């Protein structure tokens, strides 16, 4: 077991029967009283961020986490199938563990975080920016561009986003997958 002196940003620990990642920490040595470590920790299962203070020298349970790249194959209901491109091993991940499943295309590479000791998938992160083809959108009306007007559009995965009026069916656009917002039009 490790102690609070081993705490660093990004460290994963087992705390209160849940897995947490250390977002930030501060070792405090007040003039009067014992030292302590003030931390901000994020739950890997719920995403909730907590502030917690550990007394100096407190024992913590470090969890080994591995990040591996997998290729998205297909989904069956809420189960998404991924394949390791080196060993061809397949992993099935629940939709709730993926940060933006509506933007997954067949063949996309995804970074999956595993609990190394239990070989259990904890989360799947798709790249922050991805390119998609517009499959449906209403045509823009000429002269309707005085402001930053946006219109709904459907991309090749079936997800609906908002794009500027000049975007047409067949255009390729870059999307921020974290927020689902249009970023730019991709030149052919």
Query: In which domain, by residue range, is 95 found?
Result: 65-125
Q: Looking at residue 51, which CATH number applies to its domain?
A: 2.30.30.30
CA separation for the pair 63, 88 (Å, rounded): 26
Q: Quick one: average pLDDT of 53-59?
A: 91
Average pLDDT over residues 156-161: 91
Average pLDDT rounded to a whole number, residues 15-35: 90
Domain edge (last residue) among 13, 29, 62: 62
Write down the pLDDT at residue 139: 83
Cβ within 8 Å of residue 45, ≥6 positions away: 18, 19, 122
Residue 120 sits in the same domain as residue 70 = yes
Strand duo 172-176 + 129-137: pairing: antiparallel
Is there a single domain that holds both residue 105 and residue 83? yes
Q: What is the pLDDT of residue 50?
A: 92
Structural domains counted in the chain: 3
Residues 115 and 82 in one domain: yes
pLDDT in the model for residue 155:
93
User: Using one digit for the tens of pLDDT, what is the confidence trace for 112-152?
Assistant: 988 888 888 888 889 999 999 999 998 876 666 666 788 89
Q: Is 50 found in the same domain as 21?
A: yes
């Amino acid at each position: 077991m490790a102690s609070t002196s081993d705490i660093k940003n990004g460290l994963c620990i087992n705390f209160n029967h849940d897995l947490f990642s250390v977002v930030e920490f501060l070792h405090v040595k007040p003039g009067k009283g014992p030292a302590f470590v003030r931390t901000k920790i994020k739950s890997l299962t719920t995403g909730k961020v907590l502030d917690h203070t550990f007394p100096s020298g407190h024992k913590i349970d470090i969890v080994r986490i591995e990040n591996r790249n997998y290729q998205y194959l297909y989904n069956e209901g809420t189960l998404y199938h991924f394949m390791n491109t080196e060993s061809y091993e397949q992993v099935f991940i629940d939709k709730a563990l993926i940060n933006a499943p509506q933007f997954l295309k067949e063949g996309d590479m995804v970074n999956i975080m595993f609990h190394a000791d239990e070989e259990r998938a904890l989360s799947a992160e798709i790249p922050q920016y991805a390119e998609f083809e517009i499959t449906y959108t209403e045509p823009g009306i000429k002269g309707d561009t005085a402001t930053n007007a946006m219109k709904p559009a459907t991309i090749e995965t079936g997800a609906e986003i908002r794009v500027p009026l000049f975007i047409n069916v067949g255009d390729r656009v870059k999307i921020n997958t974290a927020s689902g917002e249009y970023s730019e039009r991709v030149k052919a």
